Structure 1
Amino acid sequence: IIELLEEDDPAEVDIEAKESYHSQFIMADGVLMQRAQKNTIQGDLAQIMVPQNLVVECLRAYHDELHRRAKGFGDFVGKTRLYERVGSHFYWPTLKEDIRIWITDCDRCKVL
């Protein structure tokens, strides 16, 4: 996707594919981002595309931070809250399913 978005030589690129990807993705300062339409209040988002090798680190960081902030208030994170936090900044194709599994496997979340 990155190579396709950055290629300017029409002889080297599939124009249809580039137009399709260009409507879904952008490059910003060398970072691949997905264009995401949120709603009329928040406007459009550009979510950073997270490579598969960083998914666990991303989920762990956001999940642990939500538990830290929720301590004393029931310590509940939940799928929706984690998805809202992660999804407002990041995207990967299995985001929703990965969050469901993460919350299901969390001992602290199971207790609540």
Structure 2
Amino acid sequence: MGAQLLYRTTRKLTLTEAGKVLLHSAKNVKQATQEAMDAVAGFGENVSGHIKMSVPTISGDLILADAVAEFCNLHPGLTVDMSLDNRFVDLVADGYDLVIRTGYLEDSSLIAR
């Protein structure tokens, strides 16, 4: 740092002007860090809202129904409208947030989204 921060005698320690500036800045950093942590605390903990989803009938009946119900029990502020349907749906026109479809992927280098 190259600056003297303390005056030291046999009886006491005293901050230099540089020490006072550093201490003030350190307190500001500590406060800003705490404010930032407080601002993001709780993100992801309180899941709430409504999800409209469409899933294949077999997957929905055998796998997803119990998993979605358990997830909703863990997050009481969440509601899910799960449509069991094998047809292709239009996400935008039908207002879906999530659509799951299963099937054979012709080219394995493609990524299904």
Give me the TM-score of the superposition, normalised by structure 2: 0.21
TM-score using structure 1 length = 0.21
Larger radius of gyration: 2
- Ranked by relative contact order (alpha carbons within 8 Å, sequence separation 6 or more), the top structure is 2
Flag the structure with higher helix content. 1
